[in-house]
Amino acid sequence: MPFVLTVDQRASRRSPDRVADVLRRLEAAVPAVLSFERTAGDEFQGVLDDPGVVVDVVVQLLREGTWSVGVGAGPVQTPLPASTRAAAGPAFLSARRAVEAAKQRPGHVAVRGAHAADAEDAQAVLSALAAVVERRSPQAWEAIGLVADGRTQAEAAASLGISRQAVGQRLAAGLWDLERELRPTAARLLARAVG
């Protein structure tokens, strides 16, 4: 199941170029079918085959608050070339339409796919995730980061030097339980959007 992510830096004329840094981080952490590459100016693309990884990357990018993210779900031309820039197919066209739509949407994320209704549903869930991510405090991110890495609330509390109850409050304020419900839902809908 191919998914193309086309990502464009917001307000790039008024801020430093962040593409090279994010490409290094994605290359080190994300298993891609075709690696993320700069395609033009402040834009980059990559091809993934796991909808759960797509959700992880989208959430990571939205957390940074500087990207418009378009997800294209559908077929790509095969055999795949060695470079993302040389690849083509309907998923690439969908990703292009999606990133243009994302620039105008609250949350700055959009999905286009072979199955339009499921793409719209995936977009709605990813938009809800964007709203959750955007409202989190740094303290909530600290607690969520530790718990997401597998620590218990008691271990997170010890690491942060706060009470277990304070960790629970940070997780609740950061809507951690809601995010954990939304992520697999978004992944399932992305998988359906491929058609």
- Residue count of the chain, please give it: 195
Could you tell me which of 73, 110, 111 has the C-alpha nearest to residue 89?
A: 73
The answer to whether the pTM exceeds 0.75 is: yes
Q: Please tell me whether residues 68 and 92 are part of one structural domain.
A: yes
pLDDT higher than 90, residue 150: yes
User: Which uninterrupted H or E stretch holds 138?
Assistant: helix 138-148
Which residues neighbour 146 within 8 Å (Cβ) at sequence distance 6 or greater? 155, 156, 159, 160
Q: Which of 32, 42, 119 is nearest to 74 (CA)?
A: 119
pLDDT digits (tens, 9 = 90+) for 97-120: 999 999 999 899 999 999 999 999
> 185 in helix, strand or coil?
helix
Q: What is the pLDDT of residue 106?
A: 87
Residues 68, 113, single domain; the answer is yes
Q: Clarify whether residues 18 and 55 are in a common domain.
A: yes
Burial pattern 110-139, b for ≥16 Cβ within 10 A else e, equals bbbbbbeebbebbbebbbbbbebbeebeeb
73, 193 Cβ separation under 8 angstroms: yes
Same domain, yes or no: 111 and 36? yes
Residue 49's pLDDT band (boundaries 50, 70, 90)? very high
Q: 166 lies in which domain range?
A: 138-173
* 74 shares its domain with 15: yes
| Tokens of residue 127, six digits | 């938009």
| For the chain, percent of residues with pLDDT exceeding 70 | 99
| CA atoms of 168 and 176, how far apart (whole Å) | 10
- 179 lies in a domain? no
Which residue in this structure is represented by tokens 């509390």? 157
